[in-house]
Amino acid sequence: MQQNVLTALPPLPDRQAALFLDFDGTLIDIASRPDAVVVPPDLPLLLGQLAARLGGAVAIVTGRGLEVARGLTGAPPTGCPWAFAAEHGSVIAAPGIPPLPEPAGPPASWREAAAAFAARHPGLLLEEKKYGFVLHFRAVPAMGEAAAAFLRDMAAGSAFQVLPAHAAAELRPLGSNKGSAVEWLMRHAPFAGRVPIFIGDDVTDEDGMNAARLHGGAGYRVPEQFPAGPRDVRAWLTQLADRLAHQDDSMPAHS
């Protein structure tokens, strides 16, 4: 890796890297509600540049649902140059890469019970996903433990687990995590044989970071390695894209 001129940030990788990027809290700032986030207008262009210069080895690894993640990142309707591992790796969408075996979603009765629980507690927000759901309590922090306990009681003895997130508790299938997503993508081109770099900010990102390290790469966490948060991450990625472009321009042309 080459030394990064942005002080205190990780060294820039070379063009043999594969990037695995969390979204909320890593590429963009967390908002009061999942639907209130602000996406920098130049983020889709940056992701496209990185994908082009790393042979397509860029993946958004997020807890968001696939279609929401596609919309927020400005992914083109066809031929998106970067990959997605949505719902913590339950959903893989990448050109030429097969999906993971599809897990079962929670029973309809669980979804109905979660909606009723949220309705009884103003300020609690239910976020639906294909294979699970989330109770957000950022607006009512005092409800955090009650929301998590409600989901833990629901999931007890089932094929689901409850994980903490930023001011939220999420129910998702057992075995679905960001580490399994990294492992799956690293088996297939264009990720195979590259050095994985995972950047995240939450406990759910630790599995992805560990998987990247097991493949000889690195796991970086916000804010420990990126003190200014997503702004630092985007600046680091921009510098990487610019450096790779400069290296491309300086390569001799072949007749």
Domains along the chain with CATH numbers: 17-102+176-250 (3.40.50.1000), 108-173 (3.30.70)
Quick check: bond before 10 cis, omega within 30? Answer: no
pLDDT tens-digit map of 19-59: 999 999 999 999 989 999 999 999 999 999 999 999 999 99
Distance CA(86)–CA(63), nearest Å, equals: 6
pLDDT tens for 222-234 read 999 999 999 999 9
Q: What is the pLDDT of residues 145-183, one digit of tens each?
A: 999 999 999 999 999 999 988 899 999 999 889 999 999
Neighbour tally for 110: CB within 10 Å = 18
Q: What is the pLDDT of residue 253?
A: 55
Provide the pLDDT confidence category of residue 247 given band limits of 50, 70 and 90.
confident
Q: What is the DSSP string of 226-241?
A: -TTTHHHHHHHHHHHH
The chain-wide mean pLDDT, for the chain, equals: 93
Confidence check: pLDDT of 255 > 50 = no
Active site residue 153: no
Given the residues 14, 22, 29, 42, select the one marked as catalytic: 22
